[in-house]
Amino acid sequence: MSGPRRRPPRSKALTRRDFLKRAGLGSAALTALPLVPGCGSSDPVGSRGGGSGAAEFRHGVASGDPLSDRVILWTRISGYDHSNVTVDYAVFADPELSVRVTGGSATASPDRDYTVKVDVQGLQAATTYYYRFNVGDVQSPIGRTRTAPAGPVERLRLAVVSCSSLAHGYFNAYRRVAERADLDAVLHLGDYIYEYGSGEYGDAREYQPAHEILTLDDYRTRHAQYKTDADLQEAHRQHPFITVWDDHETADNSWREGANNHAEGEEGSWAQRKAWAIQAYYEWLPIRAVDPSHPERIYRSFRYGDLADVVMLDTRLYDRDLQAGMTDAASINDAARTLIGSEQMAWLSGQLAAPGTVWKLLGQQVMFGQLRIPSLPELSALTNVPVEQLQALLQSLPLVSTGGLVINTDQWDGYRAERTRVFDLLEALQVDNAVVLTGDIHTSWSMDLSRDPANLLVYNPLTGDGSLGVEFVCTSITSPGLEQAAPLTPVLQLLNPHIKYVDLAQKGYLILDVTPQQLVGEHWYVDRIDAPSEGQSLGAAYAVDAGTRHLRAAEATEPLANPPAPAP
């Protein structure tokens, strides 16, 4: 939901933000090459700081994109305006920092907003390291990171997170993730920041800057504000992140050539705004550039020994066509429309075909599986709730009365031919263990993936026959879900037999426990987001046994015994 100003006409597609609103639920330069001339880092708001001349590490430290022999280390230097600053770093084998492994120096400059990224190489596989930066006698907090394994791997533990709206509450889920010392990495599936101004979408906390972010300085300031959050800082300090953007890192429901929350002309050029957003993203996240000359390419992969390939896709900016209208069947079924595009699809084919691992984990943004919601008369008959009450509950959410299908056209339901192409790859390449990981929709789901899950001739919901893979959708850190629609959960599962678990309200994160025999997804929830809290609980756990391609109910897994010590 964007601000109150008038805008040019939009696509008639029901956006995710519209969906949440109508349900009554609340309101790039890369490391080596700048996209545009650099700016100074002076900012009266204070989250990035001005030029005092005394170094500070107020935005913490972070690491990311772990490979078996290297990892990105990140920090940001405050206290300078225009001059370059030499920053030293050192990597250690122990949390006491007594066994030095490697180190060096880097330059923080205004061209990169005084952010520093170092790709530390020559490390050992499957090893936990501790690191620290310094400028003279001023030292950063101590960070902890871990390289990916090589060769045989018996177990992998990952956290999966998405959608952290600072304006909707406190990041307690990030703190719970930070406390899990046995994690190999954290996958962030997007909406790391939100672009809105204060009060436009949530009012629990004020944004910096207070207006909707449009310029390079705006995006830098918003990223800087997020990096001052203590819970997010701690998650970054304790674990390496593997990140990919969704829409709010640029603007709501963005696509290749525009966004729902962008008024061309009034808010400048979309191409320029997107470039600035991408530049700030690369500056402020511990991500390795795939192609410095082509910064819009963020899709990439990570191999965890012989156990899993983590394949990160971009369903948002790289080659997505404009979202279709809710009843625009011709566009929804148009074989020429793309969500990831032909180039990325060919790359995905190569990743799925690559031998050597048991599991293929596809990290991406929007729900892949199908979602059917009935017409109001059908829903009334199933729930014994009068149509009038249902209509008030859903607040004019458009429903197709014939067939009862509601499509969120921002997700794969709105790009059916593109989804069919992925199903074709899974079948043609005989991929036995595909697991799709999704964020974006602020709710939790676990489901089988079938070409036609409502057709008993194609998919058997009792045995899982006909499923080509599984999907886990993690809930948001704070962003609002569909709390008022929670009573409809049993109906959703009745009409969507491939969906084994749904939670439309709670906030938290997903834990993946991966072995050669099975993959378990655990939905964990915090007890509140309106204040800092230590409470959390397990919502549900579902597993897929290797080679079966369908889910079964499971128990929570045991944490790793004697994990590496947290960073002090």
- The fraction of the chain above a pLDDT of 70, given in percent, is 86
Lowest mean pLDDT, pick from 90-99, 238-247, 331-340, 550-559: 331-340
Q: What CATH number does the domain containing 280 carry? A: 3.60.21.70
Query: Mean pLDDT score of the chain, rounded to an integer?
Result: 89
Same domain, 347 and 201: yes
Question: By C-alpha distance, which of 427, 528, 516 is closest to 477?
Answer: 528
In whole angstroms, give the CA distance from residue 302 to residue 311: 7
Q: Which value, to the nearest 10 degrees, does the dihedral of the CA atoms of residues 479, 232, 242, 292 take?
A: 100
Q: Is the dihedral of CA 392, 396, 400, 406 positive or negative?
A: negative
Residue 284 has which token pair?
Answer: 């402020």
Residues 131 and 177 in one domain: no
Q: Is the peptide bond before 95 cis (omega within 30 degrees of 0)?
A: no
E strand spans, 137-204: 138-139, 143-146, 156-161, 185-188
Residue 122 covered by a domain: yes
pLDDT in tens, 438-462: 999 999 999 999 999 989 999 999 9
Domain boundary among 110, 144, 178: 144
Q: Are residues 269 and 413 in the same domain?
A: yes
pLDDT of res. 32:
35
Q: 518 and 475 share a domain?
A: yes
Dig out the tokens for 412 from the structure: 């794969």
Q: What residue numbers bound the domain in which 349 lies?
A: 157-371+407-553
Question: 190 and 137 in one domain?
Answer: no
Closest CA to 412 of 512, 522, 507, 337: 337
List pLDDT tens digits, range 155-208.
999 999 999 999 999 999 999 999 999 999 999 999 999 999 999 999 999 999
Domain boundary among 144, 172, 195: 144
Residue 193 · residue 222 · CB < 8 Å: yes
Residues 265, 121, single domain; the answer is no
| pLDDT (0 to 100) of residue 4 | 31
pLDDT at 408 over 90: no
Closest CA to 12 of 434, 555, 398: 398
